[in-house]
Amino acid sequence: MGDVSPIPDVVAHRGASSARAEHTRGAYELALQQGADAVECDVRISRDGRLVCVHDRRVDRTSTGRGAVSGLTVAEMASLDFASWHDPARTELGVLTLDELLGMLRDGGHGTRLFVETKHPARYRGLVEHRLAELLARHGLAAPRVRAEAPVLMMSFAEAAVRRFKLAAPRVPTVLLLSRISRARRGGVLPEWADLAGPDVRLLRADPGFAARVAALGRDTYCWTVDEPADVELCRRSGVRYVATNRPEATRSHLDDPGLARFGSVAE
């Protein structure tokens, strides 16, 4: 594809997670300051039935505590520090709830969209999708008048999860995340309950025409996780609609002017 491809929207993956600890208030505040078009989060259900922004099944990697998310209440996680593992100079107590993140975006997001990934397998199985639909309804986000402008999109690697959520909130756009492209998906065909394709950037490297085939069938592509300049450029040239990145500021700079962006090392 040529240079006339539209510039993709930049989605801050778990917030500005290269600079701040993932899924923390600080990471999302920084992403908003850096002008991300959207932010992304993973959600799980705590023992007291609340949706919390945690990627792993356990809190061990990203906090000072131990244990499965499903075995801890939000109150029990309130004393855990979720930031110092990434930066010893920063402290951020308490798990970020999805309800709180939605409030942050409402109050200071200026139209920033949210991509919510439900994690599976999970102890409570399909409850996470039902709770997500209920929470979006409470915030007035479950029935957008124009689906293409919906403030929240749901996504998952689990096909059953995407189907289940689509039944619960049919107006909210859904993304089927892909760690591989099966023969059934290779032509860009998606099931009716999936509105967008969500390939790993490694799949796009191997098959740069995938996004164009998806677009030819009237669907958009969300590509993850795109941190290298060459991959950002690949997404732009391939017609990817949404680019999920740990480095929203550098990714935006590259998309606006490829000659000015400064990415540095991924290990930084």
In contact, 199 and 176? CB cutoff 8 Å: no
Report the alpha-carbon distance of residue 79 to residue 94 in Å, rounded.
6
Q: What is the DSSP string of 41-60?
A: EEEEE-TTS-EE--SSSBST
Active site residues: 13, 55
- The tokens for 251 are 């990714």
Kindly state the DSSP code that residue 7 receives in the 8-state scheme. Answer: P
- The tokens for 164 are 């289940």
Report the alpha-carbon distance of residue 109 to residue 102 in Å, rounded.
9
| Other CB atoms within 10 A of residue 202 CB | 14
